[in-house]
Chains A and B, each alone.
Chain A
Amino acid sequence: MGNRSDTISIDVAPVEIAQRRHAPLPENREVVFDVQDLGVRYGATTAVSGVDFDIYRNMITAVIGPSGCGKSTFIRCLNRMNDLVPGAQVDGKILYHGEDLYGSGVDPVEVRRRIGMVFQRPNPFPKSIYDNVAWGPRVLGMRKDLDERVERALRGAALWEEVKDRLKRSALSLSGGQQQRLCIARAIAIEPEVLLLDEPASALDPIATTSIEELMHGLKRDFTLVIVTHNMQQAARVADMTAFFSLEVGEGRRTGVLVEYDATEKIFTNPSDQRTEDYVTGRFG
């Protein structure tokens, strides 16, 4: 983890440096995911192919792109949720701290224990608010100081003040935004390293969306976040790094590909790929 940004000098490859000026962050960051030539097929259909980029620690990485470009498919590879889809086949490699997530002997249950996920639709369990957060730690054997753990998780998800007096009430009595924050609390209660958020605000109203976005800024300190969103403004507001996925149409097939990956500011102000520019300026998608 040497501070390599200092060693870049202006007189070498000026064009490249100019592009990097807006993105000095990644240079001194630890790589959490090293995605190498990743592809996903469902039966004969290729959903995504040739995805290749690094995801850095304690940053928010957004994955944006038009519908059907394989954003969700991609993020679900990061904690092996695609294992649950019958017929899904993953090619290429995802190195998580250097270890291949799809290598032999890797236990997907252990992977998901370290890499948590929050889904598009809030999906609290039909249990009490307390039990929603406490269930994961309980099952995983983290029973010590459970009350403190639950409180910490709920505070971390900025929900504690709203629910502290009704922890025994059903989680289904909460509003949609509260339910989603409860799902975030549930995910961070087991202290994962990474939090994957698959369009976490797309089913929420603007106020609830704002609170989720503010929450993400706070969570960055303790977790590495990857968020899939179809909402470009949301990516621009919350993400440090942004990956733009698009659809490549050929031979009657549509395959999701990674077009460009860079600092968010660069993606939105000065993208290097024409397709990215078309998308972020609203000419396409």
Chain B
Amino acid sequence: MVTGAGARLRAVYVACAMAAVPTTTPTTAPLRSGRRRIGDRVGDGALRTITALAALAVVVLLGAIVYKILHLAHSAWSTYGLHFVTAKTWDPVHKAFGALPFIYGTAISSLIALLISAPLAIGIALYLTELAPKGVRGVVGSLIEMLAAIPSVVLGLWGILVLGPFLANHLEPWLHRKLGFIGIFGAPEATGTGLFTAGLILTIMVVPIVASICRELFMQVPADLEEGALALGTTRWEMIRGVTLPATRSGIAAALILGLGRALGEAIAVTQVIGGGTRITNNVFGPGDTLASKIAASYQGAASSLEQSSLLYLGALLLIIGLVVNLVAQVIVRRFDPLREAR
């Protein structure tokens, strides 16, 4: 398409030039660049330079941040090497540091968030695009977006004051009683802080992101396709399951991964409700810490330079996880879009 338009444009130029040759009208002059005003040329050049610098600044900044983190984490790296990743203890007193409890905490809290938010967010998006009456769409849609606007520290406070006590007094004891035999629903904490609470707070943060992306995705599914499905005598649900969801599955996966990225990196709200702990436990109601919450909670009070460096090592791990997650989302979108050939 682009080359076609270019060729057409060139053809127009050539036609203009040729038309100009036999006649004596002064239309040949504007084709020469010399006639352009100096100001225009300077403006073009300045625009290109400024925008290029802005783009370059992003690359430089990214590089500088990565470099600094790796640099500061170096002493922990030279002390523990890769063993740091699998070491289970974090003991500032005896200067023994390992990342596994935090990797575990990050994985569990994010997994909880992902498992709960996926059906919730997809459901919300389907409701808003396919089923809700027109008036409801706009209102509920904006409310969902506003959920994302709540500052995470405020959400964390709400977690401490409302969600935690509710979970500790009602939901967690009930789950422990009914499903305790599975092993993951152990004895609840009295305060209501723990991995599960952190997971729920993360869910609240992830849902608006995933829901609004999914909503965009579902709106992009051509009405033709959905009509084609309904014209076969299928119900709305059959249409959604057979056409809408399959056509958008790569986008949904990417949206979930973006949400996951948000959950992995969230620090403040998680620090507020996760309880803080360095033990790896299979009880999701127990306290823990994530990579991000550990850094947020401990950096100010780090007792030794090795602890500080170890915290930055945690930061480097978080950075790598974040980059990988982002990359995976991009690959999924590019590789596995079933609608791609239609575009």
A residues whose Cβ falls under 8 Å from a Cβ of B: 79, 81, 84, 86, 109-114, 116-117, 119, 121, 123-127, 135-136, 139-140, 170, 172-173, 183, 186-187, 190, 192
**A-B residue pairs, 8 tightest by C-beta:** A113-B233, A123-B224, A126-B338, A172-B341, A117-B231, A136-B232, A112-B233, A123-B228
Hey, which chain B residues are within 8 Å of A125, CB to CB? 225, 228-229, 242-243, 246-247
CB distance from A133 to the nearest CB of B (A): 10
Hey, which chain A residues are within 8 Å of B247, CB to CB? 125-126
Question: Could you tell me the distance between the alpha carbons of A257 and B218 in the complex, rounded to whole angstroms?
Answer: 37
Q: Which of B225, B227, B228, B246 has the most CB of A within 10 A?
A: B228
Any A CB within 8 A of the CB of B35: no
Contact B342 A81 (CB under 8 A): no
CB distance from B343 to the nearest CB of A (A): 9
Q: Which residue of A lies closest to B343 (CB)?
A: A172
Question: Could you tell me the distance between the alpha carbons of A139 and B235 in the complex, rounded to whole angstroms?
Answer: 9
Any A CB within 8 A of the CB of B230: yes
Contact A81 B232 (CB under 8 A): no
* With contact pairs A121-B224, A135-B242, A172-B342 given, residues A187 and B233 touching in the complex (Cβ less than 8 Å): no
Q: Which residue of A lies closest to B239 (CB)?
A: A139
Question: Could you tell me the distance between the alpha carbons of A190 and B225 in the complex, rounded to whole angstroms?
Answer: 17
Per the CB 8 Å criterion, the residue count for chain B at the interface is 22
Q: Among B134, B232, B341, B342, which residue has its beta carbon within 8 angstroms of that of A116?
A: B232
Q: Identify 17 new A-B residue pairs, CB closer than 8 A, beyond the known A81-B231, A125-B243, A187-B231.
A: A112-B232, A112-B233, A119-B224, A119-B227, A119-B231, A121-B224, A123-B225, A124-B228, A125-B225, A127-B338, A136-B233, A139-B242, A140-B232, A140-B234, A170-B341, A186-B228, A190-B233
Question: Could you tell me the distance between the alpha carbons of A125 and B231 in the complex, rounded to whole angstroms?
Answer: 13
* With contact pairs A126-B246, A126-B341, A190-B232 given, residues A86 and B134 touching in the complex (Cβ less than 8 Å): yes
CB distance from A268 to the nearest CB of B (A): 30
* With contact pairs A86-B134, A125-B243, A126-B338 given, residues A116 and B235 touching in the complex (Cβ less than 8 Å): no
CB distance from A113 to the nearest CB of B (A): 3
Q: Which residue of A lies closest to B236 (CB)?
A: A109
* With contact pairs A125-B225, A173-B341 given, residues A116 and B246 touching in the complex (Cβ less than 8 Å): no
CB distance from B179 to the nearest CB of A (A): 35
CB distance from A242 to the nearest CB of B (A): 24
Hey, which chain A residues are within 8 Å of B341, CB to CB? 126, 170, 172-173
Q: Which of A79, A112, A139, A173 has the most CB of B within 10 A?
A: A139
Q: Which residue of B lies closest to A116 (CB)?
A: B231
Hey, which chain A residues are within 8 Å of B227, CB to CB? 81, 84, 119, 123
Hey, which chain B residues are within 8 Å of A113, CB to CB? 232-233
Any A CB within 8 A of the CB of B91: no
10 contacts between A and B (CB under 8 A): A86-B134, A117-B231, A119-B228, A124-B228, A125-B247, A139-B238, A139-B242, A170-B338, A187-B232, A190-B233
CB distance from B130 to the nearest CB of A (A): 11
Question: Could you tell me the distance between the alpha carbons of A136 and B246 in the complex, rounded to whole angstroms?
Answer: 15
Hey, which chain B residues are within 8 Å of A187, CB to CB? 231-232
CB distance from A146 to the nearest CB of B (A): 15
B196-242 interface (Cβ within 8 A of A): 222, 224-225, 227-235, 238, 242
Question: Could you tell me the distance between the alpha carbons of A139 and B250 in the complex, rounded to whole angstroms?
Answer: 23
Q: Which residue of B lies closest to A140 (CB)?
A: B233
Contact B234 A139 (CB under 8 A): yes
Question: Could you tell me the distance between the alpha carbons of A96 and B238 in the complex, rounded to whole angstroms?
Answer: 25
Question: Could you tell me the distance between the alpha carbons of A186 and B339 in the complex, rounded to whole angstroms?
Answer: 19
Hey, which chain A residues are within 8 Å of B224, CB to CB? 119, 121, 123
CB distance from B242 to the nearest CB of A (A): 6
Q: Among B232, B338, B342, which residue has its beta carbon within 8 angstroms of that of A139?
A: B232
CB distance from B177 to the nearest CB of A (A): 41
Kindly supply a per-residue 1/0 record for chain B positions 325-343, scoring 1 wherever the CB is within 8 Å of any chain A CB and 0 otherwise.
0000000000000110110
CB distance from A178 to the nearest CB of B (A): 14
* With contact pairs A109-B235, A123-B225, A126-B247 given, residues A84 and B230 touching in the complex (Cβ less than 8 Å): yes
Question: Could you tell me the distance between the alpha carbons of A127 and B228 in the complex, rounded to whole angstroms?
Answer: 13
CB distance from A147 to the nearest CB of B (A): 19
CB distance from B251 to the nearest CB of A (A): 12
CB distance from B52 to the nearest CB of A (A): 38
Contact A126 B231 (CB under 8 A): no
Hey, which chain B residues are within 8 Å of A116, CB to CB? 231-233
Hey, which chain A residues are within 8 Å of B339, CB to CB? 126
Q: Which of A109, A113, A116, A192 has the most CB of B within 10 A?
A: A109
CB distance from A138 to the nearest CB of B (A): 8
Hey, which chain B residues are within 8 Å of A124, CB to CB? 228
CB distance from B330 to the nearest CB of A (A): 20
Q: Among B232, B238, B246, which residue has its beta carbon within 8 angstroms of that of A186?
A: B232
Hey, which chain B residues are within 8 Å of A119, CB to CB? 224, 227-228, 231
